[in-house]
Amino acid sequence: MFGQMLVMRLFRQEHILTQICGNDFMVLKAAPPLVVEARQVEYFVEAVEREVGLIHSSQTFWSDALRLAKRAVNV
């Protein structure tokens, strides 16, 4: 669930489109443009650090987890 929450937060908060992949969902996949500037890479790394830090806080983790669970039940 952590990977899915990270993907969701990166998209909603940072406007970065990513995917989780792999058997354990511990791989974050991003597809940057063919030409990328150093500042764009820095922004991506900082955004991932920021969102991982927020997800690790218990309040953010549980609110996001409950939101995902509610969506899964309504599907």
CB 6 within 8 A of CB 55: yes
Where are the chain's structural domains? Answer: 2-69
Residue 20: both structure tokens together: 């989780």
Q: What is the pLDDT of residues 13-64, one digit of tens each?
A: 999 999 988 776 778 899 888 999 999 999 999 999 999 988 887 777 778 7
Phi (first) and psi of residue 21, to 5 degrees = -150, 170
* Predicted structure pTM score: 0.75
Q: Return the axis-axis angle of helices 2-14 and 58-74, rounded to nearest 10°.
A: 100
